[in-house]
Structure 1
Amino acid sequence: MTNQRRMKEPEIMKGLDKNLQLYARANAPCRDYYGLTITESNLILNVWRVSYGPHIWPKQKHCIFDEFKTHKMFQEEVKLVFGEGVFDYLTGLTTGQKKLENLPRKLFLRLFWFLGIDDVFNLMSCSKIIYELCNQEDAWRIVFIKKFGRAPSREENVLAMNMSWKDIFKKRLDYVRKALKNTNENTMKKKRETKKSIRK
């Protein structure tokens, strides 16, 4: 099962064209943290040894798509930590199976622009992998734009440096709902006052 806790990202990972990032914690008694980064042609497995503290750079293992099928040690580690579902996804991805979740990231996100908000949330419920693909930062930024009908403001983009787009979306949605509720309450209040004045 993926874990929402994020460990410190190595410098070598910054700037990579990442299709998907998954995080998980190893099964007991081992409590090490794992990060799996999937790019256009590579799988990168980061392992943070908890006993050394999360500030230490992780041990990193690489596997190109063409080698995943025969890289038994890499396969077993992924299967053990991330589960059969992620393993099956990687098997399909690295062997070129034609599935929605195997689309290149840019094409997958392009589909978002043709979906309504309800369709996006329905898509998230299709499978765990598709949920993870839809739960990435770039996807939530698109959801934000589609929901509120505008590009994020400068302040919101700055806020996104320290907060996820999912949280920004929720925060903005709460604000809109409260504003709408207050507007409705004020409207009802004015109607009641108008009725009272007419009766007088």
Structure 2
Amino acid sequence: MASWLPETLFEIVGQGPAPSKDYYQLLVTRSQLIFRWWRISLRNEYRSTKPGEAKETHEDFLENSHLQVQIALIFGAGILDYVFNLCKGKFDFLERLSDTLLLRIISYLDLEDLVRLSQTSRRFAKLCASDKLWERIVRLACDTITPDMKSLAENMGWKQIFFTNKFQFLRQLRKRKQRQGTQGEKRL
């Protein structure tokens, strides 16, 4: 399974905590962790400082508490945990799937499972609330989508259309046609 992974497993850049203006890059490849820094300072003693780089194997990084503390301070504890798991060989393949593919998979879930999935992470919450997902769900649930339905869904939102009962939906369509008719009369 690991052979399916790209050479670069993870990369992030960031600025050090205030008052530092230094920039950092963390790169995790299949075999090593690379930590780079660029000192940005107006102080004379740091002006001639060159960028630095530390390369460690995954095993060495897992034992290097000094580097772990630096990464946690700069990028946060969540990133440190994620990098720790990568270095231990624990890969989150689901996290690597594109949003398009995940939306396709998610669209086949039952509504109860969709609600549960939306509570697992920010990414899944965003995907489960997306208009693209609900458009796909509506299209799977309905035999035909009329142009009026599509136009109304684009204004109201596909999720709203899905949860609107048939009577309310027909009333909305009728109101919309009436508004379009009165606007057409005003133009004449």
TM-score (norm 2): 0.46
Q: Higher Cα Rg: structure 1 or 2?
A: 2
TM-score (norm 1): 0.44
